Amino acid sequence: IGKKLLAYDLVTSTNDLAHFLAESGEPQGTVLFANGQTQGRGRLGNAWNSPVGKGIYCSFILRPELEVARMPLVTLTVAMAIAKALKGIHVDKVSIKWPNDVYVGHGKVAGILTEMHLEGDRVGYAVVGLGVNVNLSRGELPPGATSVALALKREVDLVDLSHIIIKNLDRLYADLLEGRSRELLGMIKESSGLILGERVRVVTANHVVEGYALDFDENGSLVIRLDNGCCQVVHTGHLEKPG
Give me the residues that bind ligand BTN (CB under 6 A), please. Answer: 13-15, 37, 40-43, 46, 48, 57-59, 101, 111-113, 129-131
Query: In the bound complex, what is the minimum distance in angstroms from residue 192's beta carbon to ligand BTN?
Result: 16
Nearer to ligand BTN, 71 or 211 (CB): 71
Q: Which residue is nearest to ligand BTN (CB)?
A: 111
By the 8 A CB rule, do 132 and 104 touch? no
Nearer to ligand BTN, 73 or 211 (CB): 73
Of 35 and 232, nearer to ligand BTN (C-beta) is 35
Minimum CB distance to ligand BTN, residue 120 (Å): 26
Nearest distance from C-beta of residue 119 to ligand BTN, angstroms: 23
Q: What are phi and psi of 177, to 5 degrees?
A: -75, -30
Alpha-helical segments (H) within the chain: 14-23, 71-88, 148-152, 158-177, 181-191
State how far the Cα of 190 lies from the Cα of 108, in Å rounded to an integer.
Answer: 18
CB of 162 to ligand BTN, least distance (A): 12
The residues that bridge with 107 in the sheet, in sequence order, are: 104
28 vs 49 by CB, closer to ligand BTN: 49
3 state DSSP class of 153: coil
Residues in CB range of 184: below 8 A, 6 or more apart: 73, 77, 80, 172, 175, 176
Closest CA to 185 of 220, 215, 160: 220
Q: From the CB of 146, what's the least distance to ligand BTN, in Å?
A: 13
